[in-house]
Structure 1
C-alpha cells in the first residue's frame, strides 16, 4: 500500500469534515456533551477499527476525544487512513 503524497492527503481532506493533516497523521478532535458520550464514541470506533483491523491512536481528555490515523507499517498516511477517517465521521457525527 502506497503512502499518499501531501497533495493527495490535502485533496482527501476536502471530503473529511473536521480532519486536518498534522504531524504526519490525519487528526480530528471531537468535543462531546459529556465524558461518557466520548467514551461511548471511543467504544463504537474501537469496535469498527477492530473489525477493519486498522486502529486509530485515540487520546481522551475529559469531553474531548482526538483520533489520529497513520498506517504505521507503511510509514505514513494511506488510503486505509482516509477511509477510516470517513468511517469515524459517520460513527461520531
Structure 2
C-alpha cells in the first residue's frame, strides 16, 4: 500500500464546515459530536469503528456520556490526508443519522 499524500488541514476543511483545525501547530482536524445519550454516542462510535477498520484508518477519540471528541490525522503522512476527509465525511453522515449536534 502506498503512503497517503498529505493535503493539510486547511484543504480538508474546505469541505468539512463542522470541523476545525487542531491548534498548536499539529496538522490535524477535530470535531465534537453531542448525542441524546450514551447509547447514541456509543452507537456512533460502533458505526465509525466498523468503517475505520475497512479504511484501515483509525480516529483518536474521547467519549464521556453523550459527547465524542474526535481528532483525525494520518500518522504515516504526519498530517491530514484524503483518508481523514473520507472518515470525517462518514462521521458527519453517521452523526446526522443519529441526530447529533
TM-score, with normalisation over the residues of structure 2? 0.80
1:66 match = 69
Segments of structure 1 that go 5 or more residues without pairing to the other structure are none
- Partner of 2:36 in structure 1? 33
Which residue pairs with 1:55 in the alignment?
58
2:15 paired with 1:12: no
Alpha carbon RMSD of aligned pairs, Å?
1.4
Describe the superposition over 1:52-89 as per-residue Cα deviations: whole angstroms up to 9, x where unpaired: 11111111022110111110121111111112111111
Structure 2 unmatched runs, 5+: 97-101
CA distance in 2, matches of 1:52, 1:80: 8
CA distance in 2, matches of 1:17, 1:90: 13
After TM superposition, the score normalised by the length of structure 1 is: 0.86
2-side partners of 1:79 and 1:42: how far apart? 20
Aligned-pair CA distance for 1:91: 1.3
Stretches of 4+ aligned residues off by more than 4 angstroms:
none
- The 3-state SS of whatever aligns with 1:66 is strand
Secondary structure, counterpart of 2:77 in structure 1: coil
Equivalent residues, number: 90
Alignment check: 8 A CA contact 2:32 2:69 kept: yes
Q: 2:21 — aligned with what? A: 21
- Other-structure match for 2:86: 83
